[in-house]
Structure 1
Amino acid sequence: MKILLVHQTKIPVFSYGGTERVVWDLAKGLIELGHEVTFLVPEGSSCDFAKVICIDATKPIMAQIPSDAFDIVHFQSNTEMEPDFPYLVTEHGNSKREYPFPLNTVFISKNHADRYGSKEFVYNGLDWSSYGAVDWSMPRLRHHFLGKGSWPVKNLKGAIQVARRAGVELAVLGGTRLNLSRTFRFTPWRSIHFHGMVGGELKFRLLNESKGMIFPVRWNEPFGLAVIESLYFGNPVFATPYGALPEIVLSEHGYLSDSVSDLALAVREMTFDPRECHQRAVSMFNHVAMAKGYLEKYQRVLDGERMNATQPVLKENGHQLLPWMA
């Protein structure tokens, strides 16, 4: 199958990553399964295993797609129109507007799809070989938070509350001690260690040194790449039961609650098998499994099926703050 992946952010990702890392690893998985992949991405992108076509910013994106050269075109964001060629759209985030998505839109978890009135989703997966082997002999020094700490929905303040109530040290990956960008926060306690926006080997080392992830988000998490990265390094996850998190974090791999006291007690007293956490990420959320999931969707489209009978539309505000019992 000849597949065009359209993404309007430059690749590859060199540090923190997110959707770019998923799209990159999807291409790897599709190629490993014997398919031909081309990227349509912004100027300055490069890839050593797939062809790259650079987007001309002066022209409409649809006018730049040589659709007759590909079996299917896979967009990584809403096209806001119905293409007249075989296509798929993946919605990767939480929308802020209640506008209709194209009929062939899929989502990244069951909860994510449900909130748009759809049943179609493919779990994200990552190429774990790029993360290196887990060093099980490395001392586990402290817990961690991984996410954009300036976003109120990520609830870094809540993670700090849990860590302090539990009496554990916390490494913050994705935040600073003084935050002025959205809501004021200054963290004076030296048991909370800030590392800023980290990626690559430093990020992997910090996750490999962690005892567990504290992640009390206050929104419906569409998927949770940070969660599966943490599981990969053997970290149980202590989080809120919102969005896709109950699908990813089973009772063997962590504890979910919307209460500071409950999560703090779990952090302090519950134990989990790090290798079970690792195996959860490796077996369920890998790039080849993701590629197989998308190939099933591609084939259905090529067979003339629409992913959704009606256009998916957001049913609730994806950015509203959900309850947190401090």
Structure 2
Amino acid sequence: IHGFSSPKIIPVYKRYNAFNHYVSISNADRSSELKYIATVYNGIDSSQFTLNEHREDYLLLFGRIRPDKGTHEAIEMAKKAGMKLIIAGIVQDRKYFEEKIAPHLNHDDIVYEGSAGPEKRNLLLGKAYALLHPIRFNEPFGLSVAESMFCGTPVIAFNRGSMPELIRDGKTGFLVRNTDEAVDRLADIPKIRRADCRKWAEENFSMEKMIEGYLSVYEKVLGGQSHRH
């Protein structure tokens, strides 16, 4: 299950608790009313991402542009830190973009790149000083967070949803409570080894790891069925 469209849908899933095997994409995304057999994190094709040991001096916000993704908060962080911010992603909330984001955009320190395909994504993530992920909701899983770490780029994220599972605080990024904490943590980014970010991502969020996880689930399910017969 990848998130719930609404809490109202949980009773529908609950009806199948007795004879279904639910798999969550993070522990944070579990509902206490459902029975789970395992958590299997989303798997990413690591060959699409290159470890880049040489960071540049810009911050990056990568993902859909809408209020709960924290685009405005990222701008606030960059301005407080006096650093360049590149924003890449599709606009999902046009009103929010025009009122809260567009007035800050220029060609120097707050730059909107639009959406980014695989090649551009790899370059933007790989060269960034840090990825900013100031989410305002309990995100089930953050693909851009894992992708950033595959490139060796640390992540500064608000500590909610699945973020404590994706990020090793102090090792592959920092979990923070607000924009001021995020700005303070920017000074500590050079202490993080970019190779450690890549290693962590490979060990936990690779395609191979996901396949291994689902094979283990199938073995559990099929093994349980054979014992019942």
**TM-score, scaled relative to structure 1:** 0.60
Q: Show the counterpart of 1:157.
A: 72
Counterpart selection for 2:203 from 283, 289, 293 = 283
* SS of equivalent residue, structure 1 residue 171: strand
Moved over 6 A (4+): none
CA distance in 1, matches of 2:77, 2:203: 30
- Partner Cα separation in structure 2 for residue 108 and residue 115 of structure 1: 15
Within the alignment, does 1:214 sit opposite 2:129 as a pair?
no
Contact 1:94 1:222 (8 Å CA) reproduced: no
The one-letter amino acid paired with 1:260 is T
SS in 2 for 1:170: strand
Residue 282 of structure 1 aligns to which amino acid in structure 2?
E
Secondary structure of the 2:116 match is coil
Structure-2 separation of matches of 1:164 and 1:223: 27
| Residue 112 of structure 1, CA deviation | 0.9
CA contact (8 A) 2:59 2:86 kept: yes
| Counterpart code for 2:95 | L
Tell me the CA shift for residue 226 of structure 1.
Answer: 0.6
Query: Which position in structure 1 is the counterpart of 2:5?
Result: 95
Q: CA deviation at 1:179?
A: 3.7
Aligned equivalents of 2:24, 2:98: Cα separation in 1: 30
Query: Of 110, 133, 136, which aligns to 2:53?
Result: 136
Please name the residue that 1:147 is paired with: 63
After superposition, the Cα gap between the structure-2 partners of 1:94 and 1:182, relative to the gap in structure 1 and judged at 3 Å, is farther
Q: Give, in angstroms, the shift of residue 171 of structure 1.
A: 1.0
Q: In structure 2, the residue corresponding to 1:195 is in which secondary structure? A: strand
- Change beyond 3 A, Cα 1:163–1:182: closer
Q: Give the whole-Å Cα distance in 1 for the aligned partners of 2:31 and 2:98.
A: 31
Match of 1:241 in 2: 159
Residues in 2 aligned to 1:229 and 1:269: alpha-carbon distance in whole angstroms: 21
1:260 counterpart (179, 184, 187) = 179
Return the letter of the residue paired with 1:146.
Answer: F
For residue 213 of structure 2, what is the amino acid of its counterpart?
G
State the Cα distance separating 1:115 from its structure 2 match: 5.6
Query: Which structure is larger by alpha-carbon Rg, 1 or 2?
Result: 1
The answer to whether the Cα contact below 8 Å between 2:48 and 2:122 also exists between their aligned partners in 1 is no
The structure where helix makes up a greater share of residues is 2
**Any idea what SS the aligned residue of 2:221 has?**
helix
From the superposition, tell whether residues 182 and 166 of structure 1 become closer, same or farther in structure 2 (CA, over 3 Å): closer
1-side partners of 2:201 and 2:166: how far apart? 9
Answering whether residue 104 of structure 2 is matched by residue 104 of structure 1, we say: no
The reply on whether 1:194 has 2:109 as its aligned counterpart is no
Distance 1:118 1:259 in 2: 34
Residue segments in structure 2 that go unaligned for 5+ positions in a row? none
For this pair of structures, how many residues does the alignment match?
211
Please list every run of 5 or more consecutive structure 1 residues that lacks an aligned counterpart in the other structure.
1-90, 306-326
The CA deviation string for residues 186-238 of structure 1, in whole angstroms up to 9 with x for no partner, is 23243111111212111111111111111110111101111010011111111
Q: Percent of aligned pairs with the same residue?
A: 28
Residues 275, 187 of structure 1: alpha-carbon distance in 2 compared, 3 angstrom cutoff: farther
Give the secondary-structure state (helix, strand or coil) at the position aligned to 2:213: helix
Contact 1:126 1:286 survives alignment (8 Å)? yes
Report the more deviating stretch, 260-269 or 164-173: 260-269
Contact 1:222–1:244 at 8 Å: present in 2 too? yes
